[in-house]
Structures are given as C-alpha cells and as structure tokens.
Structure 1
C-alpha cells in the first residue's frame, strides 16, 4: 500500500521523496512550481468546492488545464482525482458540523453519483493521456454498488483500473459499515484509494487498499508541543514531524501487513 501524506505545503515536493497528496488549487495559485523529488498525487479539492459553493466553480476544461501545468512543471503525478460529488448527508443537506458550514447541494445521492461518473468520462475524453482516476461515491453499501454499476454501464471496468478512489468514507472509516463497504468493493477486485484515512481506519482495512492519504498528522501535531529544537508554536505544518508521524503509523500496522506496506511506501 502506498501511503500519502496530505499537505497544503506544495514546496514539500522538492524536500522529500515520500509520497505526498496535494490539492490542485495549491499548485494553481503558484507563480513558480518546484519539480517533485518523489511520488505525489493530486486532489481536485472537491470537498472544499462543494462545502463552500454547493457546486463546482471550475469547468472540466479548466481543471484539465491546471493538471497539465502541474504535470509539466512539477513532474508526472501518480494520479489525479476527478471533480467528484461527495455523498455525506451534510454535503447534500447543508448545515454546520465541527464549526464548518456547508451550503448543501440539495441534490440526491443518485444525482451526485451520476455527476461523478459523467465528470470522469468528460475528463477522460478531454485528457486521455493524464492518469485521472474514477471515484466511487455513495453512503450505504447498496449505493456504492449502484455506483459500480453506473461505471459498468458507461463501459468502465473498475477492476482494470490501477486506482479507484473511495469517497464519503473518511469521517466513518472505523465503523462496521465502512469496513463492510471497503471489504465488499475490494472483493470485486477494485484497487481502492482511501481518501483521508486515519490510523484506526488503516489498521482495520489498510490491507484491502492499494493506497491511502492522511492529514491526521497535522491534527495530531496541533495538540502537542513542537519537536525538540523546533521554535514554532506546534508542528502542524512541519515536514520533519509529518515524516516521523508517517513512520510511526506504518510501524504500528499489524505485522502481517508490514511487507506490503514497506514494499510500496
């Protein structure tokens, strides 16, 4: 399993050879981009887009143009997420949770899934040369299976894709329901990427996924004193802390998972 560190610090790509996961918008805003020293993947920023606007404010063509600039200036990325539509109830209905306000899309899960698949097909048509991956969206297991069927009807065999994102699971990854979703989809031969996974989720289903990303290191650091010798208030934006956290997480994984983790980490 390849384990990406999620960060908004785009310059980290020149400082480490460990896998990084960054939003496309963090690259787009830069006048100068640094070449990557290691593997990285690109997030479309869908969570923020739908949270703030209830829709996508960038067209597919704009997104493809952004990805091409990243590819040419930073270097080839492992893959990029499409402009998918998350299916969490708060994303659909709107409201406030954890101090974050969501405007809500006020659409159905089925419509979110339809738009997710349609966007992937459009991006693939616009940029067949870029490794843009399909993403499965849903809420309960039957909805995810319906999303698989949508891709199948569109001619996309998810079992043949090198990576398939799994959306709308990160906030409940340790639940029995989420474990059932991952287990079932992995059983179809789908190589899943887990968005926003934390340590407990990785411990339970990490062996079933091809890759995962996590920003939990920053949350962890924000609530602790800085590393010895560091002068900042905390290490929530600190690469040495993030790398040390990543090593600890991988070391804590069950021993029978260690060979797979070490081989691709």
Structure 2
C-alpha cells in the first residue's frame, strides 16, 4: 500500500520524495510551479467546493486545463481525482460542523452517484491522456455496489483501472461499516482501491485491502502538541519535519501487510 501525505503546502513537492497528496487549487493559484522531487497525486478539492457552494464552480474544461498545467510544470502525477460528488449527510443536506458551514446540495445519493460517473466520463473524453481516476461514492454497501454498476453500464471496467478512489468514507473509515464497504468492494475484484482520508484505525482494519491511501491527520495532531525541539513556530501544523516523522510512526505501527513503500 502506498501512503500519501496530504498537505496544502505545494512547495513540499520539491523538498521530499515521500508521496504527497495535494489539492489542485493549491497549484492553480500559484504564479510559479516547481518540478516535483518524488511521487504525488492530485485531489480535485471536491469536498471544499460542495461544502461552500453546494455545487462545482469549476467546469470540467477548466479543471482539465488546471490538471494539464500541473502535469506540464510540476511533472507527471500518479493520478488525479475527478470532480466527484461526496455523499456525506452534511454535503447533501447542509448544516454546520465545528467552524464549517455546509451549503447542502439537496440532491439524492443516487444523483450524486450519477453526476460522479458522468463527470469522470466527461473528463476522460476531454483529456484521455491525463491520469484521471474513477471514484466510487455512496453511503451503504449497496450504494457503492450500485455506483460500481453505473460504471459498468458506461463501459468502464473498474477492476482494470490503475486506481479507483473510495469516497465518503474518511469519517467512517475506522468503523465496522467502513470496513464492510472496503471488504465488499475488494470482493468485487477491486484490488486498486485508494482510501481517501484513511487514518491509523482504518488502515489497521482494512489497509491490506487498499492499494493506497492518504491522510492529513498529522496536521490535526500537531496543532495539539508543542513544536518539535528547536522549532520556533507556535506548533508544527504546517511543518514538513513533523509530517514526515508522523508518517514514519504511523507506518511503523501498522500490521506488516499494510506497510507502504516510500
């Protein structure tokens, strides 16, 4: 399993060879981009888009232009997420969670799934040369199996795709329900799953069934601890040294079958 370190610090791509996971908008807002030293993958920023606006504000053509600029300036990425539609209750119905206010899409899970598949097909049509990964969305095991069927009806064999993202599970990844979803999809022959936002507990349960995962939990942890010795900032929530040390500890604590290459 490959374990991507999620960060909003785009310049880290030239500082470490550890696999990084970054949002596309953190690159598109930059005047200058630097070549990556190691592997990286691109998040579309869908959670933030839908949380704030209840819809996508970037068109597929704009997103493809962004991805192409990143590819050309930073270097080939492992894969990029599509403009998918998450199925968490807050995303669909709206509301508040801590400091965040969710606009709500006020659409059904089925409609989110339909739009997710349709967007992937459009992006692949617009840019067949770019590595854009399909993503499965849903709430229950049956939902994810329905989403798999939608791809199959569209002629997309997920079992042979290099990467298949598993969405809307990061807040359930350590639960029995989250484990059941991953296990059920693996039973459908998907050995190429990427678990979005999987942390230690979730990886301990089903990490052996994932091809890759990502996590930004290091920053959350760092905000609640004093900075590393010799560091002068208030905390290490934006610190590469802390992030790398955290990643090393996480991987060392996982069962051997879930160990990730650097």
With the shorter chain as reference, the TM-score category is over 0.9
SS class of match (2:186): helix
Contact 2:203 2:258 in 1 (8 A): no
Further displaced range: 194-203 or 110-119: 194-203
The residue that corresponds to 2:5 in the other structure is 5
Distance 1:25 1:257, change over 3 A: closer
For residues 114-166 of structure 1, give each alpha carbon's deviation from its aligned partner in whole angstroms, at most 9, with x where no partner exists.
Answer: 00000000000000000000000000110000000000000000000010000
Q: CA RMSD in A?
A: 0.7
Contact 2:136 2:164 in 1 (8 A): yes
The residue that corresponds to 2:208 in the other structure is 207
Post-superposition offset of 1:256: 4.2
Aligned residues: 261
Post-superposition offset of 1:103: 0.5
The residue that corresponds to 1:66 in the other structure is 66
- In 1, Cα distance between equivalents of 2:57 and 2:141: 29
2:253 aligned with 1:252? yes
TM-score w.r.t. the length of structure 2 is: 0.98
Post-superposition offset of 1:255: 3.1
- In 2, Cα distance between equivalents of 1:256 and 1:30: 39
- In 2, Cα distance between equivalents of 1:73 and 1:169: 32
SS class of match (1:173): coil
The residue that corresponds to 1:198 in the other structure is 199
The residue that corresponds to 2:112 in the other structure is 112
Post-superposition offset of 1:97: 1.5
Further displaced range: 192-201 or 118-127: 192-201
Structure 2: stretches of 5+ with no match in the other structure: none
The residue that corresponds to 1:19 in the other structure is 19
Post-superposition offset of 1:257: 3.5
- In 2, Cα distance between equivalents of 1:209 and 1:157: 18
TM-score w.r.t. the length of structure 1 is: 0.97
SS class of match (2:202): helix
The residue that corresponds to 2:95 in the other structure is 95
- In 1, Cα distance between equivalents of 2:152 and 2:172: 27
